[in-house]
Chains A and B, each alone.
Chain A
Amino acid sequence: MTVTPVAPHEPEPVVYARARSPGIRWATLFHRDESLGYILLAPGFIILALLMAYPFVYAVFLSFTSKRIGGPATFVGWENYAKLASTDLYWKTIWNSIYYTVVALVFKFVGGLGLAVMLNRPFVGQRLAKALLLLPWIIPTVFSTLIWWWLFDPAFSVINEVLVVKWKLLSKPIPFLTDGNTAMASLIMVNVWRGVPFFGISFLAAMQAVPDELLEAARVDGATPWRTFWSITFPLIVPVVGVVALISTIGTLGDFDLPFLLTRGGPNDATTMFAVTAYTLSLSSGLIGLGAAVSMTMFPLLAILVVVSLLQVRQRQGVS
């Protein structure tokens, strides 16, 4: 069987064709999936490579050097990590970040579920209520945190005024941001206040996607609303609930705005967290190597969370 290569559409003078009209080759490049795919991805991925991948590698490198602002980057091995491990600040940073993230997550989750259940019924003004209740999440953090700062004012807090003077529920004012324990509780409170609407509205959207027939069938079978929720609605919204919770956890672990604005990590490092400690060490004190090492400590935790999120999203894609 002899093959006579006859290719009428792809004649030999490719070079000739290119020479005569370069447009043809460009048109193919921009036409075929194989090439167009990469062309369209290129700008975004170049930016991400230069400003995320490269900084990440650079951060790992810096965390093993004694770099200070304006100074040379001398390799020192694990010295930064060893130095950090011998300080209270480092352990406080790790503990505070995890505590803040976990406690806030529990409250946001429960609150969000409650909010979604409350709004998941027809009532007069539902649209308006949904829009208004989402406000804490959409108003820029910096500005809403400023308001909380004022609400937490040590001498003129309206919350204390009402609780202590007007209603006489407390004998002395709450030291919102000036005492270590209450400062952490206050930060968690503001984080929850900001997060509950986001959790609630996402959960609500997922609940409204639950087919009515299933709920109707459960009702006909005599299931209580409580039972229906946990046996039908909840399992069906778990994928959305899980992704929302994971995204929020990752964001909270790396949070900077709230602890920085309200307490700067104080009093006495009681509320310092990864981003705040890294900021004070590297940018305020100029110890870039140490600051990078603090940021890098966050990485293993983040990596685990990211892998779990990925698996969850992929599983979900497989289902739908």
Chain B
Amino acid sequence: MAESTAIQLKRRQGLVAVVLRRLRGEVPFYLLLLFVSFLLLFPFYWGFITSLKFEKEIFDFTGNLLWVKNPSLANYQTLFKTPRFFIWLRNTMLVSTVTTVLSVIVSIMAGYSIARLKFRGVTAASVIVFVTYLAPKGLLFVPLAQILNDWSLLGGLPALMITYPTFLIPFCTWLLSGYFSNVPVEPEECAMIDGASRIGAIIRVTLPMAWPGILTAAIFSFTLSWNELLYSLAFVRGEENRLLTNGVMSAFARSDIYFWGPLMAASTLASVPVALLYFLFMDRFVSGITAGATKG
């Protein structure tokens, strides 16, 4: 009895030693991980703590740089009290939502068509989608501004609602066609044998199965719209029509006076929802990206 507990104890000590030895082997790895994480994440931390500082402390580098002496939410208050802040927020939400819904619906149709249907020109269609996906925004904004002007759309939010889909549709179609080609065909065929129409079968059987892909496309679209800068600078005029991005900058980065506190508060606020979405759906994003990268 005593002997067996002694053996157990010895074993346990042995186990602890093994764990310790293994952990010691891991130390360089964790140090490296820590260092890389610091390089990649420090800017966010610095932006975040700056947003909690009073003006005086922002420019005061004495003491511990990684800490806030008098944390306060004053910068966030300043931000919310900015005239038109909520108008800009509403504009951004409106444009992002409209363009996301429009682009995702159109892309579901095109993506399904390219992935599942056999017709003349389907290969050409998938090539066109890929090529338009690659076209950078810097290539077309000059003629687009002119065309919007010809159509009397330049200056207002509709200009963005019709131009954002030009980069969202190729992207979502590409992503969704990759997704649809991995959804099994049989359930849809069964539904049709049971008397459903083809469209009915697609909507009631295939789309629910492709739900994760559709959600990924929607979240990507929403964040891409939320993130947009060039078109919203080039195609929209007037304070009332600004989006959050250029609105916040026009309010707090005037000529050479920068109000870092509110600017950092805005950066933090705008980043949190996006970061949360990605944390929740990260695995899907990664597989979505690589499925896209390998499927075309």
Contact = CB atoms under 8 A, between A and B. Distances in A.
B112 interface: yes
Interface in A17-68: 27, 30-31, 33-38, 40-41, 43-45, 47-48, 51-52, 54-56, 58-59, 62, 67
Given A51-B166, A140-B271, A288 B146 contact: yes
Contact of A256 (B137, B274, B286): B137
Interface string A256-269: 11001100000000
A143 to B, nearest CB: 4
Interface string B26-65: 1001101100110111011011001000000011010001
Interface stretch (A3-11, A80-88, A222-230, A310-318): A310-318
B64 to A, nearest CB: 11
A147 B138 CA distance: 23
A33 B119 contact: yes
Contact of B138 (A38, A153, A239, A275): A275
A260 B294 CA distance: 32
A131 B197 contact: no
Nearest to A242: B293
Given A44-B106, A59-B139, A139 B44 contact: yes
Interface in B196-250: 197-199, 223, 226-227, 229-230, 233-234, 245, 249
Contacts, number: 279
Contact of A44 (B107, B131, B260): B107
Contacts of A131: 278-279, 282
Nearest to A51: B166
Interface residues of A, number: 101
A73 to B, nearest CB: 9
Contacts of B147: 51, 54-55, 58
Contacts of A148: 43
B113 A275 contact: no
Contacts of A309: 130, 134
A286 to B, nearest CB: 11
Nearest to A38: B119
A243 B294 contact: yes
A193 B39 CA distance: 8
B257 interface: no
B142 A257 contact: no
Contacts of A55: 140, 143-144, 147
A313 B178 CA distance: 13
Given A47-B166, A130-B282, A150-B50, A156 B59 contact: yes
A215 B173 CA distance: 36
A162 B139 CA distance: 40
B31 to A, nearest CB: 11
A113 to B, nearest CB: 13
B135 A133 contact: no
Interface string A284-306: 00001001100100110010011
Contacts of A313: 130, 296
A233 interface: no
Contacts of A52: 132, 135, 140, 166
B138 A30 contact: no
15 contacts: A31-B198, A51-B147, A56-B139, A134-B278, A143-B267, A150-B258, A161-B61, A166-B65, A193-B40, A239-B294, A256-B229, A288-B142, A295-B141, A302-B139, A306-B131
Given A202-B293, A278-B138, 13 more contacts: A31-B198, A48-B132, A48-B169, A55-B143, A132-B41, A140-B227, A148-B43, A150-B264, A202-B286, A257-B229, A274-B138, A313-B296, A317-B295
Interface of B: 26, 29-30, 32-33, 36-37, 39-41, 43-44, 46-47, 50, 58-59, 61, 65, 106-107, 109-110, 112-114, 117-120, 122, 125, 127-128, 130-132, 134-147, 162-163, 165-166, 169-170, 173, 197-199, 223, 226-227, 229-230, 233-234, 245, 249, 258, 260, 263-264, 266-267, 270-271, 274-275, 278-279, 282, 286-287, 289-290, 293-296
Q: Which 8 A-B pairs have the closest CB atoms?
A: A254-B136, A275-B138, A37-B119, A313-B296, A254-B138, A40-B113, A140-B227, A147-B47
